[in-house]
Amino acid sequence: MSPDLKPGITHRFTYTVPQNKTVPHLYPEFAEFRDMPGVFATGFLVGLMEGACQLAIKPYLNWPVEQSVGTHVDFSHLAATPPGLMVTVDCEVIAVDGRKVRFRARAHDGHDLISEGIHERMVIDAARFNDRLAAKRPPSAG
């Protein structure tokens, strides 16, 4: 992890919402989702916000040896976004405490502020993380 990873780093990411990122496509196991409006799903929005934060710090990591995993999300979902609109996520590193990185993030769809909040990521050694994960897997899970 670079010593240059510190508060003040910003990143902007844009994404056009496709049909398959709407509520009816979230967890096909839940029939209730299929009956809901075709708007950008909160679950996919959270993933987009996390991804933008990950990209903000990637240049400061020894990628792919070092990576980051999400450890906390606190995002609002303020307005509905139909497919076809472009969502812009702006994020900023607001704190670095050892391997823990805290972000402030906001998303806008060109009409409304659709999300804002705080996110935390932990910088990991990917090999060590994967070794620990392998120890948790049931024998039948491969």
Of the residues 42, 66, 88, 116, which is catalytic? 42
Q: Which of 11, 16, 22, 50 is catalytic?
A: 50
Phi, psi of 99 (to 5 degrees): -90, -5
- Helices then strands, counting H and E runs in the chain, come out as 3, 5
Question: Is 32 assigned a catalytic role?
Answer: no
Q: How far apart are CA 37 and CA 28, in angstroms?
A: 14
Q: Is 66 a catalytic residue?
A: no
Active site residue 50: yes
What's the rounded Cα separation, in Å, for the pair 32 and 13?
31
**Hunting for tokens 């969502």 — which residue is that?**
87
Residue 17 has which token pair?
Answer: 């919402």
Query: Please, are residues 22 and 35 in contact by the beta-carbon 8 Å criterion?
Result: no
Q: Could you give the count of Cα atoms lying within 13 Å of 18 in the half-sphere of its Cβ?
A: 4
Choose, from 11, 22, 77, 120, the residue flagged as catalytic. Answer: 77
> Residues with catalytic annotation?
42, 50, 77
